Amino acid sequence: MDTMADRGSVTLRDVAEAAGVSVSTVSRVLDERAPRSQSATAVRVRQVADELGYRRNAYASGLRRGQTGTIGVLVPRLTDTVMALMFEALERAARARGYFAVVATCGDDPESERSSTEILLERGVDGLVLATARLDDELPAALRARGIRHSLALRTDGVSPSSLGDDDMGGYLAVRHLVDLGHRDIAIVTGPRFASSANGRVEGARRALAEAGLALDAERVVYAGYGIDEGVEAGRAVFTSSRPTAVFAANDNLAIGVMRAAHLAGRVVGDDLSLVGYNDIPLASRLPVPLTTVHVPFDQIAAGAIDLLFAPPGEATIRKVLPTLMPRASTTRVVE
């Protein structure tokens, strides 16, 4: 039986023998948490370990230490660029704190969400970051009941520690921008009702309209998913029932879908139709007509999510970071 990718598997004992000291000495010298000793033995041991190509066996170490230096991340899918951005940011934040991030995808299915969680737990993660929390999801509550360290990223259930963007503010910035450009007939396409982000962004949008003395009719708001196809469909609905001069899509994917719907309806984005997205995925600024959107600082959100994992419980545990508007060619002054 070959052991773990057939790697040379140089053990502590090998190093100890080669260096002529005991295993415990080597263990101590190579303990990355302790301050680096500069004693003669320490230096020699490190050199020998290096020559032999020693690598600590994370499993044995984790077993003994009771923690593994691993953080589990749960996302619905990685092919959604927003989730990929979030995971990469979490990976960086984790690494900066000496942790390794592993990810599991779980789609939109609560059942697979549970089973993916169990898989991660089985692998002994020291904490769990969920980028999936639905408002109606009972997973965070279950984790709280079991006393499992976790935090929510991008969304919140109002109870578990959460790190997210200020969606209300983002929605406000987006629509305020449209209002400032003279638009008064604005439609809104947002995410699913079960997502706190979708609701927050609509709230902010409503506030900006109210400030301008505009009401937000119910039929002006379309709740959809966060995918491109949902954007196409929502856009189609919007453009057949009315003729808004501007659309706020609460997600860049949705906005891209709306772009396609607009194209099919004979509307020209950046000309007779203004469009704002949300998230500022890399694609947004590189479209033929670059998309005005709300930039979300994923790195800050990630840092918050990781920090909350290890923060003493009972602190103010819902952290919001401010988004920024990125005006681009997809929004223009309203034509009379």
Task: State how far the Cα of 115 lies from the Cα of 121, in Å rounded to an integer.
Answer: 10
Contact flag: residue 112 with DNA (CB under 7 A) = no
Task: State how far the Cα of 293 lies from the Cα of 249, in Å rounded to an integer.
Answer: 9
Task: State how far the Cα of 217 lies from the Cα of 210, in Å rounded to an integer.
Answer: 11
For 124: left if phi > 0, alpha if psi spans -120 to 50, otherwise beta; the answer is left
Instruction: Please identify, among the stretches 123-131, 152-160, 214-222, 237-245, the one whose residues bind a copy of itself according to the rule CB under 8 A.
Output: 123-131
Contact 230, 252 (CB under 8 A): no
Q: Which of 2, 5, 6, 39 binds DNA (CB under 7 A)?
A: 39
Closer by beta carbon to a copy of itself, 70 or else 190:
70
What residue 11 binds from DNA, a copy of itself, none (CB within 5 to 8 A, per partner kind)?
DNA
Contact flag: residue 111 with a copy of itself (CB under 8 A) = no
Task: State how far the Cα of 7 lies from the Cα of 57, in Å rounded to an integer.
Answer: 11
What residue 202 binds from DNA, a copy of itself, none (CB within 5 to 8 A, per partner kind)?
none
Q: Which of 17, 88, 108, 299 binds a copy of itself (CB under 8 A)?
A: 88
Task: State how far the Cα of 336 lies from the Cα of 331, in Å rounded to an integer.
Answer: 15
Contact flag: residue 29 with DNA (CB under 7 A) = yes
**Tokens encoding 275:** 């469009």
Task: State how far the Cα of 218 lies from the Cα of 239, in Å rounded to an integer.
Answer: 16
Q: Which amino acid is at 315?
A: E
Contact flag: residue 3 with a copy of itself (CB under 8 A) = yes
What residue 308 binds from DNA, a copy of itself, none (CB within 5 to 8 A, per partner kind)?
none
Q: Which of 18, 21, 148, 318 binds DNA (CB under 7 A)?
A: 21
* Per rule CB under 7 A, count of chain residues that contact DNA: 27
* Per rule CB under 8 A, count of chain residues that contact a copy of itself: 65
Pick out residues in 136-195 that bind a copy of itself (CB under 8 A). Answer: 146-150
Strands 324-326 and 293-295: what pairing? Answer: antiparallel
Tokens 């190579």 label which residue? Answer: 30
b/e per residue 198-230 (b: at least 16 CB within 10 A): bbbbbebbbbbbeeeebebeeebbbbbbbbbeb
| Residue 294 CB neighbours (<10 A) | 29
What residue 149 binds from a copy of itself, DNA, none (CB within 5 to 8 A, per partner kind)?
a copy of itself
What residue 77 binds from a copy of itself, DNA, none (CB within 5 to 8 A, per partner kind)?
a copy of itself
**Tokens encoding 121:** 């737990």
- The residue ranges that bind a copy of itself (CB under 8 A) are 1-8, 55-60, 62-63, 65-68, 70, 77-79, 81, 84-85, 87-88, 91, 100, 102-105, 118-119, 121-128, 146-150, 228-229, 232, 256-257, 259-260, 262-263, 282-283, 286-289
Residues that bind DNA (CB under 7 A): 3, 9, 11-13, 21-25, 27-31, 37, 39, 41-42, 54, 56-57, 60-61, 63-65
